Amino acid sequence: MLIRSAKFLTSNTRVDQCPVPDKPEYAFIGRSNVGKSSLINMLTGHKGLAKTSAQPGKTQLINHFLINDYWYLVDLPGYGYAKVSKDSRAAWERMIRFYLRERPNLTCVFVLIDSRHEPLAPDLAFIDMLGTMGVPFVLVFTKADKQSALRTQQNVAAYTAKLSETWDELPRQFITSASEKTGRDEVLSFIEEVNQQ
């Protein structure tokens, strides 16, 4: 898919103030610092579209972007930042659950996972939440340029093995690097395919 236009629309804490849900919506989420802003900027080809958050765990906003005047890309606030208070963690969970439940146009959630790590509890907990809520999702292993391709494959395999313990069917997986633009075509083609279904 060619990205012809990418526009910032709104930042919200309230789901009922998000743009009218009349277009397919793809949401991006992951642990703080997983490389979400970098990935969104790489996919859209707009360097400053998603702001790299200055302080993780600060204001938690749902950011909507309109791509090609046809689909919404959503930058969701990250999770798993150790220094966040119990209260803000609970507020994050309330907001995200509400978002996942109340966006009828939500087509797919991209769960970003740092390809350098073994399966981590906050990611597995979030994936479980998506599963229980019946939300379609795929996995994106980020920062693949940080280690050898073999090491990335081993980490992805460890993930797959972990997920196989609870899931019969495994989600689709993508391997990306924002700095080397790896995985861009695959992710954009996937979105295009789903949009055409």
The footprint of ligand GDP (CB under 6 A) covers 30, 32-38, 52-53, 78, 142-143, 145-146, 177-179
Residue whose CB is nearest to ligand GDP in the complex, by number: 35
- Residue 146: CB minimum distance to ligand GDP, A: 5
21 vs 122 by CB, closer to ligand GDP: 122
23 vs 89 by CB, closer to ligand GDP: 89
55 vs 85 by CB, closer to ligand GDP: 55
Q: Write the DSSP string, the chain.
A: -----EEEEEEES-GGGSPPS-S-EEEEEEBTTSSHHHHHHHHHT-TTSSPPPSSTTSS--EEEEEETTTEEEEEPPPB--TTS-HHHHHHHHHHHHHHHHH-TTEEEEEEEEETTSPP-HHHHHHHHHHHHHT--EEEEEE-GGGS-HHHHHHHHHHHHHHHHTT-SSPPPEEE-BTTTTBTHHHHHHHHHHHHH-
20 vs 121 by CB, closer to ligand GDP: 121
- Residue 20: CB minimum distance to ligand GDP, A: 26
- Residue 58: CB minimum distance to ligand GDP, A: 11
- Residue 189: CB minimum distance to ligand GDP, A: 19
- Residue 117: CB minimum distance to ligand GDP, A: 13
88 vs 105 by CB, closer to ligand GDP: 88
